[in-house]
Amino acid sequence: MDATSAQKRIIELQNLLNQYNYEYHILDKPSVPDSEYDQLLRELIQLEEQYPEMKTPDSPTQRVGGAVLEMFEKVEHRTPMLSLSNAFNEEDLRDFDRRVRQAVGNDVSYVCELKIDGLAVSLRYEEGLFVQGATRGDGTVGEDITANLKTIKSIPLRIKKPLTIEVRGEAFMPKKSFEALNKIKEERGEEPFANPRNAAAGSLRQLDPRIAASRNLDVFLYGIADPGETGIQSHSEGLDLLDELGFKTNKERKKCATIEEVLEYIEGWVEKRPNLPYDIDGIVIKVDSLSQQAELGTTAKSPRWAIAYKFPAEEVVTKLLDIELNVGRTGVITPTAVLDPVRVAGTTVSRASLHNEDLIREKDIKIGDFVVVKKAGDIIPEVVNVLPDRRTGEEKDFMMPTHCPECHSDLIRLEGEVALRCINPKCPAQIREGLIHFVSRNAMNIEGLGEKVISQLFHEKLIEDVADLYKLTREQLLNLERMGEKSVNNLLNAIEASKQNSLEKLLFGLGIRHVGAKAAKTLAQEFGTMEALRNATYEQLTAINEIGEKMADSIVTFFEQPEVQELLAELESFGVNMEYKGPKPVSAEESNSIFAGKTIVLTGKLENMSRSEAKEKIEALGGNVAGSVSKKTDLVIAGEDAGSKLKKAQELGIEVWNEERLVEELKK
């Protein structure tokens, strides 16, 4: 490429990347996959290295981060918050290692850390007290988000020593918090967040700290802005100091003596990445020695002593072939994208939820478009955006119907909701979805009654409501396709066994709006019988800790319906249990058990019982079973193939039992 062509291409790339930067960092609505952005940036870096005279101060290669939003007060960073250069393959990492050793000699070691996919933040403490928190902004000036950061419980408001210090870290939204938040947004008919990073950024940019507080954010601290006065000699010592001061750091870090060890560390995390409870988008590699860091120095954009290895992109491009409509058990009409099958994050994806009509309009999605697809939280397939430049003119606009695609009743939009809803209680789709929910694992758990069998029974008019399941006969089932003597016997036995389920299973299976599995168990434990719950008043329900006003109102309304009362009477006549059979939890004060008042984590595979059974027994004795290990954990029970939870418990010095010890203590 000659100089004239190079200059033309450099200008083109700068304009494109500046636009993509704006969409990603300012609007939090990226229009291209990360892989496409990274490819264009690498091309620009190579051209500017070849023609350095064409490099301009406003080039994306010189940018540290996004511009400052006007809604918060500006904060000037005393020490610039530099971004990291990227490595995309082994060759890039070996080049980085070669440059380091050429500058400081061969006696060098690295610290590898997980690159958390969140929002970079800086926290300033004066004499041990948290006084200010800020975003990176453009690297020199950020946004004051102190009030929002104070809502993150893992950020100490006072550290363990009265130091004046500024620390750096990454605020993020754990996968569970992300899934819970998007579930709430979907129930409201609102557009969900595209990924946990956007959710975290959007939460910390809220003017109302109460919104940030409700989002359950977290943070990992990874460095000290100016370590000069701390007396530490290395980055790893700095991380240890952060631990001592009471900050949360990521324990998955590792000190590596060679670039070969770095490569092994990266390879391990490429495989283990999906199992983490938070998103990571790469690995950060830093020279450990602070004196060597100083010798290597920085460029205007990034330090020469650190680099970020980026994992292969999780976003792909495919064609949207059609949009289908699904009617849920609550009547919500959900459009679903039918995709040309494509491999994303280890699985083949052919369908993705489009959530609601407003999202389709906002993203300008047309049937026939080429679209960018990713997995939200590496789990749920979603359409990120369309690629309008690839349109041929044959694409078709999609229009939501005015009538239910199943029963043809008028669709309505309830006040305060975005979703269209069918409110016909006899809508076949809602009945079918309700039946599928009723027999599911967390509800009545009727093995052999999967979605296909339910649809078959419904199509043959053998079942119209959940009570009909208990009327099924051997002859009816044997007449169905692919139903032999053995499978029919197993199915009838499973239906019969479900009659003995404890009350909470039935409550959850009935599909009362806003009542999930946990709330169903709370209600069953509190009232004991279906009769007592049916007669419960709104005031009695809201007096229970975990039952809010919306849920209480929904429960009262549900049991007032004559159809519901008839259904319950019919189920009872078939012998379906209407009482709570589980142990009633006791408080720590009432229990003499060794588990009373303790926070316990279960990990690995148990041989003598399921983890849910173990959880139930421990809670019945006054214990509290948590999902993750922390400094507040009192005991970890490790079965076979226990993984990172066991490792963390050992690092924190927490008591660990095997299953044999658990069984012994439960017998006492």
Active site residues: 115
Asked if residues 128 and 182 have their Cβ atoms less than 8 Å apart, the reply is: no
DSSP 392-446: -S--B-----SB-TTT-PBEE--TT--S-EE--TT-HHHHHHHHHHHTSTTTT--
Residue 295's SS3 state is helix
For residue 382, give the H/E element and its range: strand 380-386
Distance CA 366, CA 351 (A): 15
Distance CA 152, CA 132 (A): 14
Residue 22: partners with Cβ closer than 8 Å, 6 or more residues away: 66, 67
> Which two three-digit tokens encode residue 430?
């809602």
Angle between helix 562-573 and helix 549-560 axes, rounded to 10 deg: 70
658 vs 253, 586, 594, 600, 650, CA distance in Å? 27, 24, 15, 13, 13
Asked if residues 595 and 668 have their Cβ atoms less than 8 Å apart, the reply is: no
Q: What angle do CA 445, 447, 450 make, to 5 degrees?
A: 95
Q: How many CA atoms lie within 13 A of 255 on its CB side?
A: 11
Can you give the C-alpha Rg of the chain in angstroms?
A: 29
Asked if residues 479 and 457 have their Cβ atoms less than 8 Å apart, the reply is: no
Residue 270: partners with Cβ closer than 8 Å, 6 or more residues away: 311
